[in-house]
Structure 1
Amino acid sequence: MKIERINVIGVSGSGKSTVAKVLAEKLSLAYVEMDRIFWGPDWYWPTDEEFFQQLKQEIAGEQWVLDGNYSRTAPLKWERVQLVVWVDMPFWTTLIQATGRAVKRSWTKEELWPGTGNRESFRKSFLSKDSIILWTIKTYKSVRKRYQECMSDERYSHIQFVRLRSREEIRRFVAEMGR
């Protein structure tokens, strides 16, 4: 069976976006970023109805790599997915990567998703209750527990799960998928 619908998941800062982009490029599949679908201009937070409708449109095709979690979307995004790639890096690796990304984005003021005006700031990244670093720390254990449960959940028995726990495992997996 040819794998054409993939969801890359993992804790914030784990490296899932990097893995998803590399897989999409290697396999010549569309790259779909859930954060881009979710976040509107000026950090607009859509209703679930709006979010789910946009997600349905983005994954209506037959070939895509979906980057992102949003656990409430699992029934929708995993209905037709063939492969779920769980980037499950150690806590300290994840925290260092999330912190490094926050520093870079705060420094460069890059727009996160074109046309939204959304940018990370030092204050938002390090001194706010909405800090992505704080989010990574608070959710690391619960996200991992949830994905461990999903891997053995009968509702998802049609899905092949791959759990990658190191950069070397990621490198080998991506190389194998590219063949």
Structure 2
Amino acid sequence: MRRVSVVGNSGSGKTTVGRALATGLGVPFVELDGIFHQPGWQPLGTPEFRDRVSAACAGDGWVIDGNYSAVRDLIWARADTVVWFDLPRRTMMRQLLFRTLRRGLTGTELWNGNRERLGDLLSTDPQESILRWAWARHETYRTRYRTAATAPEWSSLTFVRIASRTDARHLLERAGVSSG
């Protein structure tokens, strides 16, 4: 395990585990949201996004966190492992709610000056509310990665399904990372 794609729904723990895994493996950590979301939440154009991600996954080792279909082919063509977070919806939503409240209350900068706004929690638009987005995407991600794990075109990849905090802890322990 040297080139790892970490995928799954928002709030599932991808970034936390991905960072720890990268540290344990001694490789760079790349958060796709940090590349894609430009100042003012403006999306990076697809050609430049693909160029930047291609450069990020050119190395001998890395952990890349994110679900972007526009670059999945680039990442998975170089990856040896896909860590797929498939937590129960209630667990993921609870984690996401607390994370979003913490970020909103503290004004935590995410990427390129962007911050989550507490007011967006009340929005019914999945493009505005991370909670609505995650709720709506849950089954899509589950189906996408369950299918990919058995697809012939990805047979060279090792898929590691994370369905609980215990699964995540075991993954980190196997990678030599203290789960604390």
Q: Same fold (TM over 0.5)?
A: yes
| In 1, Cα distance between equivalents of 2:96 and 2:39 | 23
The answer (yes or no) to whether the contact 2:50–2:70 under 8 Å persists in 1 is no
Q: Per-residue CA shift, 1:20-55, capped at 9, x if unaligned? A: 011011111100110001111111112211211111
The answer (yes or no) to whether the contact 1:8–1:20 under 8 Å persists in 2 is yes
Find the partner of 1:86 among 71, 81, 84: 84
Q: Could you list the runs of 4 or more consecutive aligned residues of structure 1 that deviate by over 3 angstroms after TM superposition?
A: none
- TM-score normalised according to structure 2 size: 0.93
Matched, 1:147 2:145: yes
Identity of aligned residues (%): 37
The answer (yes or no) to whether the contact 1:16–1:67 under 8 Å persists in 2 is yes
Q: Give the equivalent residue in structure 2 for 1:124.
A: 120
Q: Per-residue CA shift, 1:93-152, capped at 9, x if unaligned? A: 000011111101110111102xx2211111123326211000010010111001111001
Q: Give the match's secondary structure for 2:133.
A: helix
Counterpart residue type for residue 96 of structure 1 = R
Q: Residues 93-172 of structure 1: matches in 2 within 5 Å?
A: 93-113=91-111, 116-127=112-123, 129=125, 130-172=128-170
The answer (yes or no) to whether the contact 1:83–1:161 under 8 Å persists in 2 is yes
Coordinate RMSD, CA, aligned = 1.2
**Structure 2: where are the runs of 5+ without partners?**
none
The answer (yes or no) to whether the contact 2:14–2:65 under 8 Å persists in 1 is yes
Counterpart residue type for residue 58 of structure 1 = A
| In 2, Cα distance between equivalents of 1:71 and 1:126 | 27
| In 2, Cα distance between equivalents of 1:87 and 1:177 | 17
Q: Give the equivalent residue in structure 2 for 1:47.
A: 45
Find the partner of 2:3 among 2, 5, 10: 5
Counterpart residue type for residue 120 of structure 2 = K
**Structure 1: where are the runs of 5+ without partners?**
none
Counterpart residue type for residue 29 of structure 1 = V
| In 2, Cα distance between equivalents of 1:143 and 1:86 | 9
Equivalences, count: 175
Q: Which moved more, 1:103-112 or 1:119-128?
A: 119-128
Q: Give the equivalent residue in structure 1 for 2:13.
A: 15
